[in-house]
């Protein structure tokens, strides 16, 4: 890596840190989710039971609430503390994107991808383009913690496919399980992505089922104890609230008046006030698919995850703007790859013209 690359990446990291943390505690808590999440954090007592209005809180897994509770104990009872876990997760996520690109591609891709990530309005600003979207890096919400764990898990699967190191399956499964414990079962898209990617190369080699089964076992061991505990202690009330309402009903019908037509999320993705490089993302996907780079783990796994995530939120009936958040880390890398390819072609043609 050249000195200029290092300088640019350091400046990007400093910028990203400031965007995540500067004035983090100044804004008031947003109604609904931020206020609800903070109330749940403040309800935690010696037995670590989550409550809301003196009743058990059964809607979400506990990991973000526990981490925020510990942060508030260390940093004090203030809005900065309540938003710290999300902001720190967002900053680490940016660093993970940079590391992924340097390890698998080149510094130029790392620069382009991190810039795309930092210029994604929905990740940093409340209600982009007037839409109701309060969840982001600078809010007291659960999304960024899960996004960080999901991305690291994908990263480790890619590393496993390159090295075949069994410990990476275990660590990747732990992170996927932590993703579930942060905000639920959307993290299961990770092993599903891995399975689908295996099918892209089945004509060259046999389907590797055993590593995926080990991965699922680790995920189960991490995520199941809390879920089993909650079913045993809260029974039908928990299953109805946590599983039926927040998964089945959200997927199959519109709830809480979150209406939208089928391609609502795709429209937002193409809106530069949400995502600066929405059109570039689709060019990047076409580039990867048509050049058959999807057969390589470092390209294919992030591409399939992006496509699966987009398909899932497109056909979920409840349309909430922040459902888009989970696509941005891998989308930023795909955009970075396209920008880097375009940059190389421009330099190549410029060299030809100079040589003439």
pLDDT digits (tens, 9 = 90+) for 75-85: 999 999 999 99
Q: What is the pLDDT of residue 353?
A: 47
Confidence grade of residue 265 (pLDDT, cut at 50, 70, 90)? confident
Please give the average per-residue pLDDT across 204-222, as a whole number.
88
What's the mean pLDDT when you consider all of the chain?
Answer: 90
On the question of pLDDT at 356 being above 60, the answer is no
- Answer for the pair 191, 216: CB distance below 8 angstroms, yes or no: yes
Confidence grade of residue 258 (pLDDT, cut at 50, 70, 90)? low
What is the maximum span of the chain, computed from C-alpha positions, in angstroms? 77
Q: What is the pLDDT of residue 129?
A: 66
On the question of pLDDT at 334 being above 50, the answer is yes
Per residue in 281-315, pLDDT (tens digit) is: 999 999 999 888 998 999 999 999 999 999 999 98
Closest CA to 176 of 193, 201, 197, 196: 193
On the question of pLDDT at 111 being above 70, the answer is yes
Please return the burial class of 240, using the count of CB atoms within 10 Å of its CB with bins 0-12, 13-18 and 19+.
middle
Q: What is the pLDDT of residue 166?
A: 92
Query: Cα–Cα distance between 46 and 239 in angstroms, integer?
Result: 25
How many residues does this entry show for the chain? Answer: 356
Please give the average per-residue pLDDT across 233-258, as a whole number.
83
Q: What is the pLDDT of residue 112?
A: 97
Extract the tokens encoding 116: 């795309």
pLDDT > 70: what percent of the chain? 93
Please return the burial class of 39, using the count of CB atoms within 10 Å of its CB with bins 0-12, 13-18 and 19+.
middle
H-only helix segments in the chain: 3-21, 33-43, 63-75, 79-104, 107-118, 143-163, 166-183, 189-200, 209-238, 250-252, 264-269, 278-290, 297-315, 328-355
Per residue in 11-55, pLDDT (tens digit) is: 999 999 999 999 999 988 887 789 999 999 999 987 788 999 889
- Top-confidence residue, 263 or 269: 269
Write the CA distances from 341 to 3, 105, 165, 334, 337, integer angstroms: 21, 11, 31, 11, 6
Extract the tokens encoding 200: 């892209």
pTM: 0.94
Q: What is the DSSP letter of 55?
A: E
Task: Measure CA of the first residue to CA of the last residue in the chain; give whole Å.
Answer: 30
Closest CA to 110 of 269, 294, 298: 298
> Coil, strand, or helix at residue 105?
coil
Closest CA to 200 of 211, 208, 210, 190: 208
Q: What is the pLDDT of residue 319?
A: 81
Bridge partners (DSSP) of residue 56 are 51
Q: Residue 56 is inside which H or E element, if any?
A: strand 55-56
On the question of pLDDT at 133 being above 50, the answer is yes
């Amino acid at each position: 890596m050249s000195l200029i690359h290092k300088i640019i990446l350091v400046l990007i990291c400093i910028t990203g840190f400031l965007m995540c943390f500067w004035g983090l505690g100044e804004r008031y808590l947003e109604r609904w989710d931020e206020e609800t999440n903070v109330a749940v954090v403040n309800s935690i007592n010696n037995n670590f039971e989550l409550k809301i209005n003196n009743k058990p809180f059964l809607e979400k897994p506990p990991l973000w609430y526990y981490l925020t509770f510990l942060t508030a104990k260390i940093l004090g009872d203030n809005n900065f503390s309540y938003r710290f876990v999300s902001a720190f997760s967002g900053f680490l996520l940016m660093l993970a994107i940079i590391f992924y690109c340097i390890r698998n591609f080149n510094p130029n891709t790392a620069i382009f991808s991190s810039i795309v990530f930092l210029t994604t309005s929905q990740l940093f600003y409340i209600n982009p383009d007037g839409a109701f979207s309060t969840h982001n890096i600078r809010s007291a919400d659960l999304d960024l913690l899960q996004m960080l764990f999901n991305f690291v898990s994908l990263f480790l699967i890619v590393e496993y496919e390159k090295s075949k190191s069994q410990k990476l399956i275990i660590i990747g499964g732990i992170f996927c399980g932590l993703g579930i414990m942060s905000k639920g079962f959307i993290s299961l898209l990770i092993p599903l992505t891995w399975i689908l990617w295996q099918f892209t190369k089945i004509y060259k080699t046999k389907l590797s089922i055993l590593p995926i089964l080990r991965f699922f076992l680790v995920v189960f061991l991490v995520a199941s104890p809390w879920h089993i505990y909650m079913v045993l202690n809260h029974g039908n009330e928990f299953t109805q609230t946590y599983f039926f309402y927040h998964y089945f009903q959200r997927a199959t019908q519109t709830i809480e008046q979150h209406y939208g037509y089928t391609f609502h999320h795709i429209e937002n993705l193409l809106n530069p006030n949400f995502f600066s490089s929405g059109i570039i993302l689709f060019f990047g996907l076409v580039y990867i698919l048509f050049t058959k780079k999807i057969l390589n783990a470092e390209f294919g796994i992030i591409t399939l995850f992006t496509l699966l995530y987009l398909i899932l939120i497109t056909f979920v009936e409840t349309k909430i703007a922040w459902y888009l958040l989970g696509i941005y880390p891998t989308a930023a890398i795909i955009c970075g790859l396209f920008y880097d390819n375009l940059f190389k072609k421009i330099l190549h043609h410029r060299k030809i013209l100079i040589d003439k």
